[in-house]
Structure 1
Amino acid sequence: MKKTIKAAVVGMTGMLALTACTSAGGSSSKDTLSVVAFSVMETANEGVYEAYQETDAGEETEFAPSYGASGDQSRAVVDGKEADFVHFSLETDVTRLVDEGLVADDWKEATPTNGIATSSVVVFVVREGNPLGIDSWDDLAQPGVEIVTPNPGSSGAARWNILAAWAHIIGNGGTEKEAEQFVSDLLANTPALPASGREATSAFVEGDQDVLLSYENEAILAKQNGEAIDYVVPQDTLLIENPAAVTVDAKDGAEDFLEFVTSAEAQSLYAGFGFRPVEGVEGVELPEVEGANDPADPFPAPEELYTIDGDFGGWGEAADKFFADGEDGEPLGIIPRLIEHSGADAQE
């Protein structure tokens, strides 16, 4: 009998709706920055906002944040949503804005991190005590294992998860045909695809599935919030890099905030919520991270860490190959075709 799944917790849905309402109309104040970000950033950003407001550059700054699925947020900015500062799961969600003239084409040069603001890795979130003994990617494709992962049509987290699974096969000597079969097997074990990474977390903690594919920081945050879960960093996984940029018409202060987000102070704050410090930021002091498997050594190095640039040719190539849709909505990329044939409920 199929296990139950919930798309989101009512309280979380209400919180997201309230947050969106505070920013949908924007603000006329030059000191109120409209931040449009992917859903996973919501909790961690609160401390970063407060720390920035304690600096000389940010002492008069207020924030009007909006959070949601990364792709949906990016498309909303194209459709007119006010944004001074954007922070998305995927580079392609920023390049969409570049193509529309909303973000400068040299946005990566604005930071010492090549435009990356936060980073993580793909992990397996399991029930407390890991009752099924989930340890490797191959365990996820076994019959009877039920998985939660978001919808790659709306969620950046989902795309990282799927490509991590693909890289596991290719990186261990498999063919593309074998990788496609492996992802098909994973999707066959996935009854529903929640719209965002945060909704997927809510669905997992409120449901009874066996495994959630997620960011490491989401797993750590769930444990910090007292959820009865554990997580596994697999021996081979994918480096997650989340970009941020200011818009071309951003209010005064947006560039200062971007500089702060990629500073050692902000990266240390993000680390406290489970984000791995971004390469290129020097002097980050790692705190003990409550909720990590080892709070004193929270970010263990996997035996094999795949990257988008090194293993997939960059997001420009990967997005077209794996996730493209045709103008008539017909799936062109590998993953939409596999989802269409899997029978999974792709929620929006």
Structure 2
Amino acid sequence: MSSSLVKAAAASAAVLLTTTACSAAGGTAAGDEGEQLSLVGFSVLEAANAPVFEEFAGTSEGEGVGFQTSYGASGDQSRAVEGGLDADVVHFSLEPDMQRLVDAGLVAEDWKDNETKGIATSSVVTFVVREGNPEGIEGWEDLVKPGVEIITPNPASSGSAKWNILGAWAHVAGAGGSDAEAEDFVTKFLENTIALPSSGREATTAFSEGNGDVLISYENEAILARQNGEAFDYVVPDDTLLIENPAAVTTDAPEAASAFLTFLTTPEAQADYALSGFRPVVDGVELPDVEGANDPSNPFPDPGTLYTIDDDFGGWAEANTKFFDEESGIIPRLQAETGTAE
């Protein structure tokens, strides 16, 4: 099947703007003559970070601080930092991308020792469908019906893809199914997958260009697409997986980076992230109406069953090895068997 996979168009590089100054060449959001921090993040953060930067600039710690930014597929971004890409703050899709930098000595081992356990943003696995939901996709079982065409990012590069596939696995295993039954379900899921773009943002681009019946995505990515005028609907299935995105500073980052990291989990910053569809990770956030949500006044309803990596997969250290190890992981093997490895 790999020869027939639809190739996603590359997501265009966007420049973050603040009320001060910007430079398209570097993707810079900068203060006037102030300190520059380098932030490396996963692709869907790009729009969400703009109001957070502006809010931080209004604090005493953030006065005059600007940002040089780099966004892309989470795994690719992590590997780039490991390979020498300058970073003071890193904000990835999932913990293994952070652990790579811990192992390389670029992020401290105690990066999770805070009130949110290192998590700065969160979301849930969601189904993005065509306007009016013509295929009637409401739950996971609808995805594996004959003829349904799925788009989801590639787990070899994208953190979003790993969340999506583990959400499919949890649908079976979390309800008491065996590993063999879960594997059979994920095999059917992959057989219906027609595109594996390299990042969550590129997957949305492929879907917006008319490919596929359903895009497996972050809830916040679905909300952001609708804010940008896409004629999509989205469905939060009754059982889904909690997505938790970690952030940290690098070991040689300046003090301003630590101040910014602390700011990310304040109610003010979390309210800014909520505007782009992220679910708050702390209490006490005054939620605004969220344009693009199914119900802007109640944008983040609780799913019937919410699975988590820690409770249902034994944590990322165990899950990443079991499911995504290049040599022994279940998912690379199933991708090879179904022809969706590339």
Query: How high is the TM-score relative to the length of structure 1?
Result: 0.91
Partner of 1:117: 120
Are 2:34 and 2:66, in contact at CA under 8 Å, matched by a contact in 1?
no
Partner of 2:334: 338
Paired residue secondary structure (1:187): helix
Q: Deviations over 1:40-94 (max 9, x none)?
A: 1000001101111111111110100100000110011110110000000011111
Partner of 1:86: 90
Q: Deviations over 1:299-335 (max 9, x none)?
A: 0111100000000000000000000013xxxxx2000
Are 1:92 and 1:319, in contact at CA under 8 Å, matched by a contact in 2?
yes
Q: Deviations over 1:240-293 (max 9, x none)?
A: 000000000012300000011111000001011110001xx2321000011101
Partner of 1:321: 322
Are 1:31 and 1:251, in contact at CA under 8 Å, matched by a contact in 2?
no
| In 1, Cα distance between equivalents of 2:326 and 2:205 | 28
Are 2:149 and 2:193, in contact at CA under 8 Å, matched by a contact in 1?
yes
How many residues were matched structurally? 331
How far is 1:171 from its partner?
A: 1.5
Q: 1:20 to 1:74 in 2, by over 3 A?
A: farther
| In 1, Cα distance between equivalents of 2:225 and 2:215 | 12
Paired residue secondary structure (2:14): helix
Query: How high is the TM-score relative to the length of structure 2?
Result: 0.93
Amino acid at match of 1:335: I
The answer to whether 1:37 aligns with 2:37 is no
| In 1, Cα distance between equivalents of 2:4 and 2:180 | 30
Are 1:19 and 1:66, in contact at CA under 8 Å, matched by a contact in 2?
no
| In 2, Cα distance between equivalents of 1:221 and 1:119 | 14
How far is 1:105 from its partner?
A: 0.4
Are 1:78 and 1:100, in contact at CA under 8 Å, matched by a contact in 2?
yes
| In 2, Cα distance between equivalents of 1:82 and 1:144 | 45
Q: 1:289 to 1:236 in 2, by over 3 A?
A: same
How far is 1:4 from its partner?
A: 8.5
| In 2, Cα distance between equivalents of 1:312 and 1:140 | 22
| In 2, Cα distance between equivalents of 1:240 and 1:67 | 18
| In 2, Cα distance between equivalents of 1:197 and 1:248 | 28
Alignment of 1:92-171 (within 5 A): 92-109=96-113, 111-171=114-174
Amino acid at match of 1:147: I
Paired residue secondary structure (2:26): helix
2:74 aligned to which of 70, 73, 85: 70
List gaps (5 residues or longer) in structure 2.
Answer: 16-21
Paired residue secondary structure (1:13): coil
